[in-house]
Structure 1
Amino acid sequence: MLKTLKKPLAAALLGGSLLAAASAQAATITVAIAANFTKAAEEIGAAWEAKSGHDVRFSFGPSGKLLAQIQNGAPFDAYFSADTDRPELLVEAGDARDFFVYARGQLALFSLDLPVDERAEAILADGDFRYLAAANPKAAPYGLAAQQVLEKRGLYQRYRDAGKIATGESITQTFQFVTTGNAQLGFVALSQLRDPESPVAGKGHTWMPPAEDYDPIEQGAVALTRSEHPEVVDDFLTFVRGDAGAAIIAKYGYDTP
């Protein structure tokens, strides 16, 4: 009897030990992500989890606010900013490593009702609207890009003095201002309009400002040196830079390096 039990028992013990080992090796990392990259990050995260067996959690917000959290000790493993200056600051301070540009964002002017696709320049010049939404230029690179587009046309100071600019804390809040109709038009990320689950998918009017009217929105990422799972972080960043990650990034309206 004992002989007949040894093999199944050994197999059960081996299976249990392998399961325990696999469980022990699985890790969860937390990544700070610029708000404009929300949908792309979520799709990338799901694809990477399925491939790697690890888990990733995201904390979305304005790049400047996320940087402040990191500098104040927030337990993030990696940081995806909407610019390159902030992650490079972390590298210079010794708090991050392996900087790379993961995407180049594109600014879009969107309105549910105003035909900005046909008359953007005239609509901006006339100012016949109550509010124009834009992200905070000090916290969000898309907000700075919007400011630059308006300044090139001599409109930024005029609209700011007139109280016509509805400033969002992040590009996500800015998008909400426009999609809810609280602002008649606004500068958003093209990626937000490419989201198939967007409340305005297939609706409204869009104008793409000339790329030369604003500084390139190069978005940089880094691994944070405080991470307790550096190998897992490296695997995630490698996935982002690979063909599968690049395809998802392009799908959401970004240029890829």
Structure 2
Amino acid sequence: MKPHASAPAVSILFAGLFLCAPLHAADLSVAVAANFTAPMQKIAEVFEKDTGHKLVLSFGSTGKFYAQIKNGAPFEVLFAADDETPARLEREGDGVAGTRFTYAIGKLVLWSKQAGLVDDQGEVLRKGRFERIALADPRLAPYGAAAMQTLNKLGLADSLASKFVQGENIGQTYQFVATQNAPLGFVALSQVYADGRVTEGSAWIVPGELYEPIRQDVLVLAKGKDNAAAAALMDYMKGDTARDIIRSYGYAL
């Protein structure tokens, strides 16, 4: 018969268990640009396992999030699709000074679910043999603005304007193309990319010189100032685990 553990040994065991768990686990309300949906869901999963903090995620357009934050929405952290919106919120006192940084640099892609429709030079745009082309609202979504910059530089914005189908955000734009309501469209590379390649259909990764860099910044908002989970998330986003996930979806850092 094995001897029973002594009282001191049991105390040490329980103390070790408590030390392994976060002492102040908290929920954190996070607004996330639609293009960053898949990587953020993956980051949230490993972040909770590693820290005990739970992220409550909302996805949408950066422009709409700005309006909601200004109207008192209870978001504590914003992952934007640009760098201008977080900077503006910080200037206006709606963000915590010094917490803003670029977490990813997005890439634009012209994508179709149909194999062979989009060539790797984007010549399909000049041929115009399609009824509709989807892009996000350039007034609200940075990826939509990048799409318009691309078409303007190519001299095709006016000739293709009658074929535009605008999504409220890049998530809705992706759905237009994925469901083939539009045969092709400009989406975020992260939405169609994994394991070093575009996973389905045909695509042209738009050269970076055709649009302004899509620098995506994160900011702790005023409502998250005293939430320990917000500070933990900012640290986590700078670590190797999060950065490897971000790279795997085709973003630059």
Q: Same fold (TM over 0.5)?
A: yes
Structure 2 contact 109–186 (Cα < 8 Å) conserved: yes
Cα offset, 1:159, TM superposition: 1.9
TM-score (norm 1): 0.86
1:224 to 221, 224, 245: 221
Structure 2 CA distance, aligned partners of 1:220 and 1:184?
31
* 2:236 is the counterpart of 1:251: no
CA spacing shift, 1:23–1:106, aligned 2, 3 Å: closer
Count of residue pairs the alignment pairs up: 241
Structure 1 contact 29–229 (Cα < 8 Å) conserved: no
Task: Report the equivalent of 1:91.
Answer: 90
Cα offset, 1:53, TM superposition: 1.0
For residues 81-121 of structure 1, give each alpha carbon's deviation from its aligned partner in whole angstroms, at most 9, with x where no partner exists.
00000000111011112110000000000112353234522
Structure 1 CA distance, aligned partners of 2:140 and 2:73?
18
Cα offset, 1:194, TM superposition: 1.6
Structure 2 CA distance, aligned partners of 1:35 and 1:24?
32
Task: Report the equivalent of 2:3.
Answer: none
Cα offset, 1:230, TM superposition: 3.0
CA spacing shift, 1:195–1:58, aligned 2, 3 Å: farther
Task: Report the equivalent of 2:164.
Answer: 165
Which runs of structure 1 show a deviation greater than 4 angstroms over 4 or more consecutive aligned residues?
none
TM-score (norm 2): 0.87
Cα offset, 1:208, TM superposition: 1.1
For the aligned residues, what is the CA RMSD?
2.6
Structure 1 contact 174–188 (Cα < 8 Å) conserved: yes
CA spacing shift, 1:51–1:118, aligned 2, 3 Å: closer
Structure 2 contact 192–200 (Cα < 8 Å) conserved: no
Cα offset, 1:235, TM superposition: 0.7
What letter corresponds to residue 166 of structure 2 in structure 1?
T
Cα offset, 1:195, TM superposition: 4.8
Task: Report the equivalent of 2:178.
Answer: 179
Structure 2 CA distance, aligned partners of 1:119 and 1:52?
44
Within 5 Å, which residues of 2 pair with 1:68-79?
A: 68-79=67-78
Specify every segment of 5 or more residues in structure 1 that has no aligned partner in the other structure, as ranges. 1-6
1:209 to 198, 206, 219: 206
For residues 133-167 of structure 1, give each alpha carbon's deviation from its aligned partner in whole angstroms, at most 9, with x where no partner exists.
0000011100000001111122112222x2x0010
Structure having the larger proportion of residues in helix: 1
Structure 2 contact 22–51 (Cα < 8 Å) conserved: no
Structure 1 CA distance, aligned partners of 2:231 and 2:199?
37
Structure 1 contact 33–81 (Cα < 8 Å) conserved: yes
**% of aligned pairs identical?**
42
What secondary structure sits across from 1:33 in the alignment? strand
Cα offset, 1:23, TM superposition: 8.7
Structure 2 CA distance, aligned partners of 1:228 and 1:108?
36
Within 5 Å, which residues of 2 pair with 1:4-153?
A: 25-97=24-96, 98-113=99-114, 114-118=116-120, 120-121=122-123, 123-153=124-154
What secondary structure sits across from 1:254 in the alignment? coil
For residues 210-256 of structure 1, give each alpha carbon's deviation from its aligned partner in whole angstroms, at most 9, with x where no partner exists.
11000000001100122264322011111011111110100111001
